[in-house]
Chain A
């Protein structure tokens, strides 16, 4: 037995040695093909699978498994952390701070970031100038997507594969019942401002429906139309428009216009998206209804095709996923190639619009479909959403953003919800709880 063991061990060692001697010369002997300096592993960091899905479908040669793709002889690996409570940011920060000492194959090459915190990364040395690696043509992208990915000096650090003007997404059948029509133009006229919106909410209540699934559903509309940032000169301030959201939420709960007060991603709010749901309105960009409204798209319980979009009471945009090039990447060419593919490769951008119901970051392609009378989105009952988004995209201004926005937005909603649920006595108490939360999370911010 011992003998057998030692023989097999010896054999194993021999094999390993052969393996080494085989691979070493072949690497050094055949000097660099086109991308010879490139690493064999491309690490992509994400907080969900939206972009990863497109990367597998439109860029990679082969989808190996849920976490691995192949492009040529390069393996693309995904690392994912959930976004909630800043978990993704925390993990990413840790990894980026250790980037310099990480082995080449463990280095982050490309990571995704959201509007809520992208400035943290663009304004640091952790990201690099993408023009220097060959992403130079921004002629077709939307201006705000470039601005958002640029640092204070205007150096572009990444690109977005989508443009995210957002709209009011409504259930056609309920609108038919409440407003008497499901025509987007007529519905828009009925909800053109917040006063009208609230009036429709009252009508919906009378007919046994809810205007919104949760009070947090309208949050982004208000928070995207603020006139001041969350944090200025290290001081936390609550914008008047956020106060308006609180007013509306309080009123909606009091009058029973909302189904829940919960988190928009939670089971409560999303259960209203099923066909049996009684909620008329949701708010969001293209990614919201094609990636986050999966309950509505459910073949059996959903209500595919019973939806439509219009601008809603106030124009806004929400999120967007940017790809940023990590400093220290050993695959700069592939990083640039991916970025170029998703903004300038017309075939890919057309695929995103046509097959994925995305609103791409290529104006030329978007406009082509926007003006195509035969083009329509099945989920929206054949409505041409691209035409509406192309119009809404003109309003987008990337302003009043700070690196603290994610936790400020999440925190305010969580703590204000406690007040709406009646467990916190006054609005001031809820705001104080929120301030304490921010103070604990960010020692550099002063709250009064």
Chain B
């Protein structure tokens, strides 16, 4: 490649072509992301909803929607906090095993010593659940674990339980099922990303470590993990943002009400309750803005703490 040199001050700037090429992204971003975001923030200061076919508002109400969000409800708690807690808990339940398993698989698959055959096949298989729409996946579990569903039939027939168990009505099982589904859907994706990260590490580092007599644990903690950190943080943050936005799996599995006793109600399901029936843009906007702030804080926090080391 030859670099064009122009004599004197009159250099031809090729930068403008660069701007031209990235322009489409910014235009699309501005129209479909930035503008709606601004609108959401704007709406959050208004009383704006539908009562049947009557549209109420928009009337400016200042911080009223935010105050309402931090007011205790009839059950005596602040819904926002409870549902944030639920969301984080449900995410952790799925994400911890997801990262452990994905990391193990990534190390197995990339290990030159193990040299597992049929990698392509396994990679496809573990990624497969991600291709199914989350709501369809959830619907499937809903049918599988219903009181007259195949799982119950199987367990009764095998004599494990003597009467059908209400999997979808009990907190422990509902939360476990949600975690299981999220795990199944995302561990393949995480595995592949981590594998890419590990493959990016210079193989000679592993080799020399082995020659120096370090065992697998030492290699993992002293070589793989530190060098994988940037990728690991990226995967963690995306998973966390995805977790905060958890919606379709619990929504479908619990018929939208986060059974039982609102213990599976996530923040986005809460948001959806405002939007579905009454198109309550004011309250929904306020929830979204808080969600945005929470996500931003979490991301910065994680990024900062992990990067420090």
- Tell me, yes or no, whether A binds B: yes
Q: Is the CB of B277 within 8 A of A418?
A: no
At the interface, yes or no: B161 with Cβ under 8 Å from chain A? Answer: no
At the interface, yes or no: A291 with Cβ under 8 Å from chain B? Answer: no
Mark A425-444 against chain B: 1 for CB-CB distance below 8 A, else 0: 00001001101110111111
Q: Is the CB of A85 within 8 A of B255?
A: yes
Q: How many residues of A contact B (CB 8 A)?
A: 45
Q: Is the CB of B261 within 8 A of A418?
A: yes
Q: Is the CB of B277 within 8 A of A407?
A: yes
Q: Is the CB of A437 within 8 A of B277?
A: no
Contact A267:B273 (CB < 8 A) given known A429-B75, A444-B51, A444-B56: no
Please report whether the interface of chain B is mostly helix, strand, loop or mixed according to DSSP.
loop
At the interface, yes or no: B91 with Cβ under 8 Å from chain A? Answer: no
Q: Contact check: which of A260, A268, A442 meets B51 at CB < 8 Å?
A: A442
Q: Is the CB of A124 within 8 A of B52?
A: yes
At the interface, yes or no: B148 with Cβ under 8 Å from chain A? Answer: yes
At the interface, yes or no: B208 with Cβ under 8 Å from chain A? Answer: no
Residues of A within 8 A of B273 (CB): 437, 440-441
Residues of B within 8 A of A403 (CB): 52
Q: Is the CB of B53 within 8 A of A93?
A: yes
At the interface, yes or no: A90 with Cβ under 8 Å from chain B? Answer: yes
Contact A120:B52 (CB < 8 A) given known A442-B277, A443-B278, A447-B74: yes
Q: Is the CB of B260 within 8 A of A262?
A: no
Residues of A within 8 A of B182 (CB): none
Residues of A within 8 A of B256 (CB): 85
Kindly identify, within residues 262 to 309 of chain B, every residue whose CB is under 8 Å from any CB belonging to chain A.
262, 270, 273-274, 276-278, 280, 283
Residues of A within 8 A of B148 (CB): 267-268, 271
At the interface, yes or no: A126 with Cβ under 8 Å from chain B? Answer: yes
Q: Is the CB of A443 within 8 A of B283?
A: yes
Q: Is the CB of B257 within 8 A of A439?
A: no
Residues of A within 8 A of B154 (CB): none
Q: Is the CB of B255 within 8 A of A414?
A: yes
Q: Is the CB of B53 within 8 A of A96?
A: yes
Contact A97:B147 (CB < 8 A) given known A86-B277, A441-B273: no
In the assembled complex, the Cα of A411 lies from the Cα of B273 at a distance in Å of 12
Q: Contact check: which of A415, A429, A441 meets B276 at CB < 8 Å?
A: A441
Residue of B nearest to A84 (CB): B255
Question: Could you say which of B8-16, B92-100, B164-172 contacts chain A?
Answer: B164-172
Q: What's the least CB distance linking A210 to chain B, in Å?
A: 13
In the assembled complex, the Cα of A418 lies from the Cα of B254 at a distance in Å of 11
Residues of B within 8 A of A423 (CB): 169-171, 259-261
Kindly identify, within residues 30 to 53 of chain B, every residue whose CB is under 8 Å from any CB belonging to chain A.
49-53
Residue of A nearest to B270 (CB): A440
In the assembled complex, the Cα of A333 lies from the Cα of B76 at a distance in Å of 55
Mark A49-92 against chain B: 1 for CB-CB distance below 8 A, else 0: 00000000000000000000000000000000000111101100
In the assembled complex, the Cα of A86 lies from the Cα of B278 at a distance in Å of 10
Q: Is the CB of A440 within 8 A of B50?
A: no
Q: Which residues of B contact A (CB under 8 A)?
A: 49-56, 73-76, 79, 143, 146-149, 166, 169-171, 255-257, 259-262, 270, 273-274, 276-278, 280, 283
14 more CB-based (< 8 A) A-B contacts, given A87-B276, A423-B260: A84-B255, A86-B277, A93-B50, A97-B53, A121-B53, A267-B147, A417-B169, A421-B169, A432-B74, A432-B75, A433-B262, A435-B73, A436-B79, A440-B274
Q: List 18 A-B contacts (CB under 8 A).
A: A85-B255, A85-B256, A93-B52, A97-B53, A267-B146, A414-B255, A414-B259, A415-B257, A418-B260, A423-B171, A424-B260, A433-B74, A436-B75, A440-B270, A441-B277, A443-B278, A444-B278, A447-B74
Q: Which residues of A contact B (CB under 8 A)?
A: 84-87, 89-90, 93, 96-97, 120-121, 124, 126, 260-263, 266-268, 271, 403, 407, 411, 414-415, 417-418, 421, 423-424, 429, 432-433, 435-437, 439-444, 447-448
